[in-house]
Structure formats: structure tokens, C-alpha cells
Structure 1
Amino acid sequence: MTLPQGRDFQPPWPLRSGHIQTMLSSSGVRRLLLPKAARTVLEGAEPVMVSGGADVRLSGAYTAQRTGAPSRGLAVLFHGWEGSLDSTYVLQTGSRLLAEGWDVFRLNFRDHGDSHHLNEALFHSCRIDEVVHALAEIAERWPTRPMALAGFSLGGNFALRAGLMAPQHGIPLAYTLAICPIIDPAEGLFSLEKQAPWFYQAYFMQKWRHSLRTKQAAFPQHTYFELAELKQNLRGLTEALVLRHTDFDSLEAYLDGYSVAGDALRAMQIPATIMTSRDDPVIPVNAFEQLRLPPNIELDIARYGGHCGFIRGLDMTSFTDDYIAARFNAIADAR
């Protein structure tokens, strides 16, 4: 079977703009225009609570496929920063995999979606251990095999790190796929500050501040940030997060803590795919080009697509649906 490649994505003008692709990817317009089939993963979805270890609780949703045939496997989906298990791209991908015969689990990271009240401590990007712990519980509670994982943006970064850690934790993960993952967080932060148009940083900051206000309301007895800290830019507020709420002694150490740059992925034991686009205005492509990868990791850099966009036309469906489904199905067929 010939798998779709990033070079196959040739959108019509003006969807060849990385900025338009990026802005449409999570816009309300896209959610309104998506066909009904892109929401079927919501039908019969079971709300679930899983353990992140100790007293950590993470929320999720499980949907069993209804094709009448044996399940192809269990597909687990990770959203991006300040997204959720109900983000448009997660629903669309989950619905496509459901139609292909997969059972689907959508996980919320800590403090994402409506889960701010579940844990008193704040989310940060180095909380990979609790996500891996949750992944192990998901594999045990829903033992359909194979188990395949896909993540978007920061969720793609988590998916790659989870893929690295899965074998040593006994998690039967067969494959992991990352769409536009954060590779070098320090470079990505610099790009948002210095290279990307101002409205990207404004967009992320607005969502992050809203999330922090929601967290504060859930735990009014706890002061997470001072008002002056909340008014800082992305770098300033991130540094305040690091010094207040992590064990790292510097912003640089924290950013390095979830980096998968350089040869960090050379120890990956399972098959994996990294897909991004050259016109991604959020995550610089040179970080991908500098990766030193083992043979079992496929790196696919498309010309177009923006950041997690890859939108094909007016119906707002994404090329990534075909891309992810084809690779997941290949893993299942190989079993």
C-alpha cells in the first residue's frame, strides 16, 4: 500500500498561505463548516477519568467503533497547548479513525478542557510522567491491539516522548505519530517572540491567561501568579511559571526538559512518524531538518500546511485525516 506523503498536499490558492492555514486550523469558522461526519466520535462517547499517578487525575473520552467488524485497534489522541479533547482537529481525526474501525480515546492534559478543578498543581510541558502513567492505564483498561498514538503541536511533542518511554514502562504502544510537534522549545519560543507575526503570541497569551484565571477560580485559596506576572509577555510569564511551579532553576533548563531536538529521539524503539510543513509560522522548520533520527522514524516535511492546518478546501477537512488513518491502518494490517 502506498502511504500518502506530505508532498501530496497541494491545496488551492489562497490555502497555500501558511498563515491562512494556521488561522483556519482552530477557528470557529472551520468548526461551523465541517461536515457532520467530523463529529461522530462524540456520539456514544464515554467520559473517563484516568490516573496520572499518585493523586493526579486526568480526564478523557472513549468511543468504541460501531462498524460491526472487529476493532482495528485502539487509537489515542493528544491535543495541543490550550486545546482539548474536543478541539476541532481532535474530533475530526477521531471521527475518521472511528469510521476506519478504530476505537478512539481522547485524552485531556492537566488543566485543559474543563479539567482545571481536578488537580491543584498547574500544568506545564514537562509533566510527561503523568501522561505516560495515564497511557499505561488506558492500555490496560482497553486492551484492544494494536495501540497507536497521534498528537498535534505540543501534543505531538508529548506523543514522541511517550513513544520513547513506552517500552520501559511496559506500554504496548505499536506506533506514534506527531503532527507539527514542538521540537526545540527554546527555538520555538524565540520564533514566536521575534519572527512570527504579533497576533500569534497574542492569541496564545489570551488563551493561556484565560486558562490561568479558570484555574485560580477553581482553587481560590491558592495564589498561582501575582497580577504583575500575568501581565508579562510569553517569555516572562513562562519564566514565572518555571520559578514558581516547577523544580527547574531556570527557564532554559525547563525548555530543555521537554526538547526532542538533535539526537534525543535516536533511542526510539517503536515506529514513528513526524510530519510538519515548511510554511509553519509557529514552529521553525530548521529544527526538524537538524534532527538525527533512527531508521524507524519517518520525517515528512510538506511544502504547505501551516501549523496543524493542512486544510484542503471549503469543507475545512484536513489532509492529516487521510495521512493518519492510512498509517494507523498500515500498522493494524501488518498485525
Structure 2
Amino acid sequence: MTPGRHTARFRPPPGLANRHVQTLLPRLLPCREPTLAWEELPLPDGDVVELAWVTPSPEDATAPLLVLFHGLEGSVDSPYARQLLTAAGNGHRALLMHFRGCGRRPNRRPRAYHSGDTADAHWLLTRLRHRYPRAALFACGVSLGANMLLKLVAEDRANVLGLGGAIAIAPPVNLAASADTLERGFARLYQRHLLGALKAKVASRLVTGELPLSLTPADLAGFTTLREYDEAVTAPLHGFDGAADYYRRAAAGPLLGGIRLPTLILHADDDPFMPVDLYAGVELGPGIRLETARHGGHVGFVEWRDGRLDSWLARRVADQLTAWSTSLSRARKAISRSGS
């Protein structure tokens, strides 16, 4: 993988290049539903995250392993999650980690999750490294999960986690600018959808008094932007001094210059969740390959292939995982031969 800035080899089908069409098309694509096995992973603070494993899994203990982190209010049921897990499941042990409260049951502690919340992912990856010590370990994040993953990789400069590579799909590396973008034009419909899901989840916990917030259900119902929600809910729940402080401290953009781990970032210039100049002036570390497409929308990238609409994202991720796995396998064999 050659680091630096590159043009993605994505071409939208004729007539389907519009950013909103691309963003919404994945919901219409047929996709095989992966068979899942569920696991609750206890966390150090007494909470849990729910893991969804693709089954059957490879019997070989050295089979490469992929961990997927979803986007804001996503889950294993999100179209991109099904597509990516299905593609990666061919030869890989694959699972999705649900952020707190995004699985089948509410989480236990009086908190939720956010774009810079790397501790749970770090805990999971550490446990997986101990569980599968001979397997190559890869991670992929989508949107919010992609920003979180980039921040995690930047924090783990020595790669104590032992990752073989990371893939970040549509990461909002400038959280404040992305919040501004979602308040304009058609993007407000996406904001309304996301905000509705967040508010519905918090409303019931406000009624029961579970959350340490000076907020009434009426206050919550009156929020019309994600910035208002982050100011009143996300920030105080997770130790930030307001939304601006949260956006500044959780954004991965300022940290990208220090990343040396092989890291693929996939971005579309027309992503309606982000400003057009998202990566202007952003320093990329020596391990980063940024592939930018003119079109693709937000986590869209739907192409015409073999006579039907299909996910270019799933194909690109599968190709990268295969390349990394092959390279690591060859390196291990070379080391084994030299030591024999």
C-alpha cells in the first residue's frame, strides 16, 4: 500500500452520481444476511459492549481477524455493516463491536459513547490479541467509528495492540466542521434522522433518572441540531466542557500526522456530512493512504458491477484485507525460514 493522497478507483453508475442518491442507495442493495453469534464483553467499569460474530468462523486459529466499528446510532443491522462483514467473512474471522447502548439491550452505566471514545475499542482489541495470539488483527471503522479508530491508532503510537492495519471509511476528522455542515440544506434531513434516534434512546433514561443531567424531557424534545444535543448530553455525560471542547478533543484530524501504522482512509468529496475541504491542510502520517473519490456520498460508493448495483466499499475493503493478510503471511514465513 503506497501512502499519500490518491484518487479512489470508484466510478458511480451513470445517473447515480448524486451525493444523496449514493448515500441512500446502500439501503436498497440486496445483501446476504450474515449468520451471527452474540457475545457480551464485560468492561472494566462494570458496563458491557455487545459483539456480533459472523458464523461459521474459520477453524484455523491463525485466520486473520477483522473488527468493525459502526457509525453514529449504527449497528450490525446497518446496510454497510452487513456488506462489509459479509465481504470480510470470506477467509477472515469477523465481528462488529456495538458501542454502548447500540446493541440489543441498553448499557448499564449512566453514560453512552462518542466520537473519541477509544477505551472500549482498546479493551476489546487487547482481549482479542490474547484470545487469538497467532492471528493477524485488522480494524475497520465507519463514520463516527472511523474517527474513533483513527484516534485510537494515533494514541497507540507503538502499536501495542499489534494491529496489522486499519481502514477508516468516511471519518469526520473535523467534528466541528461536520456539525456545521449537517445544519445546512438537505443535510438537515440526515441530522434530523440521527438526532431522532439519539433523543429516543436518552428520553427513557431521563424519565427513570438514570442519567446525571440537568435536563428535562421537554428540553430534550426541543433540540433541533446535533450540536445542541452534544452540548447538553454528550459533553456533560463524558467529561467535556461543552460541545466545542468535545469536538476539539475527540477529533482525529490533528492526530493524523503521527500515524505510522498502515492505514487506509476512504473519502468522497461530495460527502453531505462533511465540508468539501475536509482534508485541506491536514497532515497525513507516513502510514496513511488517503483515497478520495469525486462522488460516493456518505458511506455510499455504490457501483455497477457484473450486471447489478453493488458495494464498491465492500470490494475495496476485502481487497485491502487480502493484500495485508498475504503480505503478513509472507513475512512470517520468511522469518520462520530464517530462524530454522
TM-score, normalization by structure 1: 0.86
Other-structure match for 2:76:
85
Other-structure match for 2:336:
none
Tell me how far apart the structure 1 counterparts of residues 112 and 313 of structure 2 sit (CA, whole Å). 31
Other-structure match for 1:281:
272
TM-superposition CA deviations, 1:82-131 (whole Å, max 9, x none): 001232211111111112x0000210011213242333323233322222
- Cα pair distance change 1:14/1:221, threshold 3 Å: same
Tell me how far apart the structure 2 counterparts of residues 76 and 288 of structure 1 sit (CA, whole Å). 26
Write the mapping of 1:150-189 to structure 2, written as runs, cut at 5 A: 150-166=140-156, 168=158, 170-189=160-179
The question of whether the paired residues in 1 share the 8 Å contact of 2:70 and 2:144 is answered with yes
The question of whether the paired residues in 2 share the 8 Å contact of 1:75 and 1:103 is answered with yes
Amino acid at match of 2:30: L
- Cα pair distance change 1:197/1:294, threshold 3 Å: closer
Tell me how far apart the structure 2 counterparts of residues 307 and 221 of structure 1 sit (CA, whole Å). 34
Other-structure match for 1:123:
113
Identity fraction in percent = 25
Q: 1:319 aligns with which of 309, 312, 317?
A: 312
Tell me how far apart the structure 2 counterparts of residues 200 and 157 of structure 1 sit (CA, whole Å). 18
TM-superposition CA deviations, 1:205-240 (whole Å, max 9, x none): 1222222235457x5554653123311122222111
Tell me how far apart the structure 2 counterparts of residues 278 and 48 of structure 1 sit (CA, whole Å). 37
The question of whether the paired residues in 2 share the 8 Å contact of 1:147 and 1:172 is answered with yes
TM-superposition CA deviations, 1:15-47 (whole Å, max 9, x none): 20011111233x3xx2xx4143xx2xx32x321
Amino acid at match of 2:93: D
Segment of structure 1 superposing worse, 89-98 or 310-319 = 310-319
- The unaligned stretches of length 5 or more in structure 2 are 329-340
Alignment partner of 1:252 is 2:248: no
Other-structure match for 2:99:
109
Deviation at 1:315, TM superposition (A): 5.1
Q: How many residues align?
A: 320
Other-structure match for 1:194:
184
Other-structure match for 1:34:
30
Deviation at 1:144, TM superposition (A): 4.7
Q: 2:324 aligns with which of 325, 331, 335?
A: 331
Which protein has the bigger strand share? 2
Other-structure match for 2:88:
97
- The unaligned stretches of length 5 or more in structure 1 are none
TM-score, normalization by structure 2: 0.85
- Cα pair distance change 1:106/1:6, threshold 3 Å: farther
